[in-house]
């Protein structure tokens, strides 16, 4: 049954104030960790932490698994070692490696001593590979066979293997005594072959492999290119180390593509879930690009200023020198916001009912960015172009106002489009710049009229 998000969120907020573990556990009993995690994305860190501390260690770890990485990182350092040990044990190995960035080295090493020895050894082996390499994302839990193994024995091994022992058995890898990869064949081939057929006669010797030091994104694109369920990962001597699975490859490609889309919208940073990011993190992702673009747009203003001061006959008023800065800042800010929200809608991170949550994030973010740009604009106008205090104050006031307006429009336009059944990506991109440019000019001139004329 689908949960009512608002009702469930109110329920979680009430539980965050309860100090009785039995009550909290009873209220959340039977709910899937993924559903609980979805509610956590809309809670404050303190509220989520209070609930996690009341849950049993295993359930708390399962909820952490379902949370976006950025959000889970806020909790891990505050939770007890017993919870983190469960969390580390069930984490995919690549995420387990990232956990060490959030903990003190001694504490991470202590956790490795608590989890099963095989898992701890695998984590340590993967830590030896470069960050961002496919070696850090591979799994060692693949099904391998001896060249002389019969199909009957291979299928029997698969049937008798404990659940979860292998990441996947779609492909069976034939390996010699020195761990060299000789060939591969599919489970379908094994089932269709004669029981007495041996692996070396069934396998395909033309194998596409990837070195463990290869960039993860490059390896992921190879998996997509060849349509593999998994890509064998080998060392420099051709010895098989593990497999890079299609689900990990899809995640890498998705994150890379998302980051590229965000960069097109002048937003930097990793592809973290929108609701997992704080206002300050949103500012850090956007402000550097806006400042760079803002500085670049001063060149256009310099052209207007040059001709305005050189030839009075052109009638270029000093007020127009700053139009490129004002509408450029508004358009760029609106583009950043609409790109971010459109992505979040496409991935299901926010829905049309979350408009108020979005506004509460975007307005403080826009205010901080606007004040920063306003300060830069004032310094440029007053000290750089010697425009006088009144006009410099107009620029300083107009920039935050236009940026706030752009953020409001940029966040609500995709949500409004989604609500009426129009693709936000189609509607938002063409409208945002045109609309913000026009309305931004109105805001600028209205502020100028009041400051410069007192009307």
Q: What is the mean pLDDT of residues 33-49?
A: 84
> Is the confidence at residue 390, as pLDDT, over 80?
yes
> Is the confidence at residue 377, as pLDDT, over 50?
yes
Select from 3.40.50.1370, 1.25.60.10, 3.40.50.300, 1.20.810.10 the CATH code of 5-128: 1.25.60.10
> Is the confidence at residue 165, as pLDDT, over 80?
no
87 or 188, greater pLDDT: 188
Q: In this structure, are strands 142-145 and 168-175 parallel, antiparallel, or unpaired?
A: parallel
**Tokens for 124?**
């340590």
* CATH 1.25.60.10 residue ranges for the chain: 5-128
Q: What is the pLDDT of residues 69-82, one digit of tens each?
A: 777 878 887 888 88
> Is the confidence at residue 197, as pLDDT, over 90?
yes
With b for 16 or more beta-carbon neighbours within 10 A and e for fewer, the 242-255 pattern comes to bbbbbebbebbbeb
Confidence (pLDDT) at 1: 46
At residue 242, the 3 state secondary structure works out as strand
Which percentage of the chain shows pLDDT scores above 70? Answer: 90
Number of CB atoms found within 10 A of residue 204's CB? 11
Q: Which residues contact 343 (CB under 8 A, 6 or more apart)?
A: 258, 261, 262, 274
* CATH 3.10.580.10 residue ranges for the chain: 142-246
> Is the confidence at residue 7, as pLDDT, over 70?
yes
The CATH homologous superfamily to which domain 142-246 belongs is CBS-domain (3.10.580.10)
Q: What is the mean pLDDT of residues 137-153?
A: 90
Q: What is the mean pLDDT of residues 181-192?
A: 92
> Is the confidence at residue 84, as pLDDT, over 50?
yes
Confidence (pLDDT) at 430: 63
| Cα angle, residue 221 at apex, residues 219 and 226 outer, rounded to 5° | 95
Q: In this structure, are strands 181-186 and 168-175 parallel, antiparallel, or unpaired?
A: antiparallel
Q: What is the pLDDT of residues 346-357, one digit of tens each?
A: 777 788 888 888
- Round to whole Å and give the CA distance between 364 and 285: 14
278 or 212, greater pLDDT: 212
Confidence (pLDDT) at 426: 67
**Tokens for 405?**
């307006």
Confidence (pLDDT) at 169: 84
Residue 133 pairs in a beta bridge with 215
| Inter-CA distances, 236 with 177, 183, 208, 214, 240, Å | 17, 17, 14, 11, 10
What confidence tier does 10 reach under pLDDT thresholds 50, 70, 90? confident
Of the listed ranges 67-71, 194-198, 215-219, the least confidently predicted one is 67-71
127 or 50, greater pLDDT: 50
Confidence (pLDDT) at 315: 53
Burial class (CB in 10 A: 0-12, 13-18, 19+), 40: buried
> Is the confidence at residue 285, as pLDDT, over 70?
yes
CA 84 from chain centre, in angstroms, equals 22
Mean pLDDT, rounded, of the chain: 83
> Is the confidence at residue 177, as pLDDT, over 60?
yes
Q: What is the pLDDT of residues 91-142, one digit of tens each?
A: 776 667 777 777 777 888 888 888 888 888 888 888 888 888 898 888 888 8
Q: What is the pLDDT of residues 417-426, one digit of tens each?
A: 888 887 777 6
Handedness of CA 176, 180, 182, 186 (dihedral sign): positive
Which percentage of the chain shows pLDDT scores above 90? Answer: 20
Confidence (pLDDT) at 436: 82
Q: What is the mean pLDDT of residues 360-366?
A: 91
342 or 315, greater pLDDT: 342
> Is the confidence at residue 174, as pLDDT, over 90?
yes
Number of CB atoms found within 10 A of residue 212's CB? 23
* CATH 1.10.357.20 residue ranges for the chain: 265-453
Architecture per CATH, domain 265-453, reads as Orthogonal Bundle (1.10)
> Is the confidence at residue 311, as pLDDT, over 60?
no
């Amino acid at each position: 049954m689908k949960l009512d998000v608002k009702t469930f969120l109110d329920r979680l907020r009430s539980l965050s104030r309860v100090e009785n573990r039995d009550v909290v556990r009873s209220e959340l009993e039977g709910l899937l960790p993924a559903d609980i995690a979805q509610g956590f994305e809309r809670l404050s860190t303190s509220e989520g932490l209070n609930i996690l501390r009341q849950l049993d260690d295993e359930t708390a770890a399962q909820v952490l698994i379902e949370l976006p990485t950025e959000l889970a990182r806020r909790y891990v350092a505050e939770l007890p070692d017993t919870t983190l040990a469960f969390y580390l044990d069930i984490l995919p190995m690549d995420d387990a490696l990232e956990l060490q960035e959030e903990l003190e080295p001694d504490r991470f090493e202590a956790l490795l001593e608590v989890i099963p020895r095989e898992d701890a050894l695998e984590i340590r082996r993967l830590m030896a590979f470069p960050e961002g390499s496919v070696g850090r994302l591979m799994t060692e839990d693949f099904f391998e066979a001896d060249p002389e193994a019969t199909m009957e024995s291979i299928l029997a091994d698969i049937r008798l293997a404990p659940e979860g022992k292998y990441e996947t058995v779609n492909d069976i890898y034939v390996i010699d005594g020195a761990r060299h990869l000789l060939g591969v064949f599919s489970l379908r081939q094994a089932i269709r072959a004669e029981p007495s057929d041996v692996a070396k006669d069934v396998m395909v010797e033309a194998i596409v492999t990837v070195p463990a030091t290869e960039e993860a994104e490059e390896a992921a694109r190879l998996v997509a290119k060849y349509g593999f369920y998994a890509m064998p990962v080998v060392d420099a001597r051709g010895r098989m180390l593990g497999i890079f699975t299609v689900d990990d490859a899809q995640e890498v490609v998705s994150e890379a593509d998302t980051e590229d889309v965000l960069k097109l919208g002048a937003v930097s940073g990793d592809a973290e879930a929108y609701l997992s990011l704080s206002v300050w993190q949103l500012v850090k992702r956007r402000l550097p690009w806006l400042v760079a673009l803002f500085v670049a747009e001063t060149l256009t203003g310099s052209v207007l200023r040059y001709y305005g001061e050189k030839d009075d006959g052109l009638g270029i008023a000093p007020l127009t020198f700053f139009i490129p800065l004002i509408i450029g800042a508004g358009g760029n800010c609106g583009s950043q916001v609409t790109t971010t929200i459109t992505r979040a809608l496409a991935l299901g991170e926010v829905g049309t009912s979350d408009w108020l949550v979005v506004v509460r994030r975007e307005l403080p973010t826009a205010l901080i960015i606007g004040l920063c740009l306003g300060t830069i604009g004032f310094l440029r106008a007053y000290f750089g172009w010697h425009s006088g205090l009144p006009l410099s104050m107009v620029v300083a006031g107009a920039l935050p106002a236009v940026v706030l307006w752009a953020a409001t429009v940029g966040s609500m336009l995709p949500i409004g489009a989604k609500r009426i059944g129009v693709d936000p990506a189609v509607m938002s991109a063409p409208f945002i710049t045109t609309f913000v440019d026009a309305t931004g000019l109105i805001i600028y001139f209205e502020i100028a009229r009041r400051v410069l004329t007192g009307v």
